[in-house]
Structure formats: C-alpha cells, structure tokens
Amino acid sequence: MNATCSPSTSAPATSGVTESLRKPLYNVNGNADAYEVRVELPGVPKNGVKLDLEDNILTVRGERNTTVPEGMKALHRELSPLNYLLRLRLNTPVDEDKMTAKLDDGVLTISLPLKQTAKPRQIQIQ
C-alpha cells in the first residue's frame, strides 16, 4: 500500500473561533488478506466521523465540536473545534462490501479486506 495524505490547512469558522483542519496520526498494517488502518481522532464522536472510498482513495473525515452547556458561558477555552482529514491511496483494490470500521477511545480502526483476484489453476489433461 502506498499511502498519500492531503496537506494540512486552516480555515476560519463561522463562529469567530478558528477551526483547524489537520491530518490525524495514523498507522497502516497489512498482510496478504487485508489492510488495517488505525487513525487517532481524539474528541471526535461516532457521528462526527465520515468514511469514503472512491477510486481506491480512502478518505477519513472527523469533526470535533466544542460547545458550552446550556445555561453556562465560556470562561476559558483551550479545546477548540477541530476537523481532521486523511486521504490514503490504496494500490490494491479492497472489497468494499466487507469493510468495517470501529471507533473506540478516540482511535478509529478500519478493516479493509483485499479483493480476491483470480488465482491461476492447473487443468488436468485426461
């Protein structure tokens, strides 16, 4: 697998707080049957994660929002809204129907089973 990532950029948020767009830390492991991608997305809830696979490019997006509880006002803020973006080019086609993803303790684990290619077989001559 040859992994390529998009560059990090920053964009202003509509709320006046600067939202960052960052490339998350990640590892890619694999064997003859599958790839496993582990991506760190601290503070991102399940509903803030979006995965896409198109033209052998895996895109991981994560959005961490920081909200002030109702009836309270922000007195000090170090945690800011944060968006993650990671793009990985997959050199081997994966079986999209068998892909799985799990988010646990801020770590997203994506299982990418490889497509089984036609294996050569010997034909017995009778």
Distance CA 112, CA 96 (A): 8
Which residues, in sequence order, are bridge partners of residue 85?
Answer: 61
Per-position DSSP letters for 63-92, written without gaps between them: EE---PPTT---S------EEEEEEEE-SS
- The per-residue pLDDT string of the chain (126 residues; one tens digit each, 9 = 90 and over) reads 444 333 333 333 344 444 578 999 999 999 989 999 999 999 999 999 999 999 999 999 999 988 888 999 989 988 888 999 999 999 888 999 999 999 999 999 999 999 887 445 677 887
pTM for the complete prediction? 0.74
Which top CATH class is 19-68+80-113? mainly beta
pLDDT of 19: 58
Sign of CA dihedral 7, 20, 28, 1: negative
Bridge pairing between strands 18-22 and 82-89: parallel
Show me where the domains of the chain are located: 19-68+80-113
